Amino acid sequence: MDVFVVFDNVFVPEDRIFVKGNVEAANVWRQTAQPSFAMHQTLTKDIAKSEFVFGVALLLAESTGINEHFHVQSKLGEIGEIVQLLRNSVESMERHAEEYKNTGYLIPDYTAGSSAVSHFADLYQRAMEILMDLGGSGLVGVPAYEDLEADDPLGGDVKTYFRGKEMNARERIGVQKLARDLTISGFGRREELYERFHVGGPMRVKSNLYKGFPDKDGLKERAREHGLRTIDKLESD
């Protein structure tokens, strides 16, 4: 939230309290369908935001022609990876949906999306770094739209010197403003912080993923068997 509200004199009627001091009742929601749908909704939000960032990055690179360079294409590919990873995770959640407690209703598979949600805070930060690399100092010195309509020499200079490779000055300025808002503006930095803590503290989220990861015993057993086979082979040799 963006604000704090302090109430100096509050009356809370006891008969309106549903949960009071009952930890089990407070945590029972974890056993409902809510976490699965919240996970699906979060990934849907992540996809929409990542696709938008990718679009801005593509336009930003094309505006100056740097998209022709191999190292720039690699950076753009990183953002494309983020988009595709999120799309695949949502599809996996839906493909592995199961009926919820004999209700006839399907719920998305929570585990299939948990890793992508856990990783998105890092992925979004990386996408912002790439945008700043692509925009460079051009994200700081962006003219106002009003400058385009100013009398010459200002208006003419802006139209001439702020045009892109195959993009007029008005369109390129719009792309630069979008990239600036996403990366270095107060709004953009707030959004980056928002994504970092959207589903909880990053360390706690990853810790919960570790604790709830399915079939850890099976994975350990496979590794143990491989290690024993390696030892047996070395001894036989």
- CA pair distance 212, 217, nearest whole angstrom: 12
Entry pTM = 0.85
Structure tokens at 183: 């990366």
Number of structural domains found in the chain: 1
Within a domain: residue 162? Answer: yes
Within a domain: residue 232? Answer: no
1 has a pLDDT exceeding 70? no
* DSSP code of residue 85: H
Lowest mean pLDDT among 117-126, 165-174, 179-188, 224-233: 224-233
CATH of the domain at 120: 1.20.140.10
Q: What is the pLDDT of residues 191-224, one digit of tens each?
A: 999 999 998 888 888 898 888 888 899 999 999 8
Q: Which residue range forms the structural domain that includes residue 122?
A: 21-199
Within a domain: residue 36? Answer: yes
Within a domain: residue 172? Answer: yes
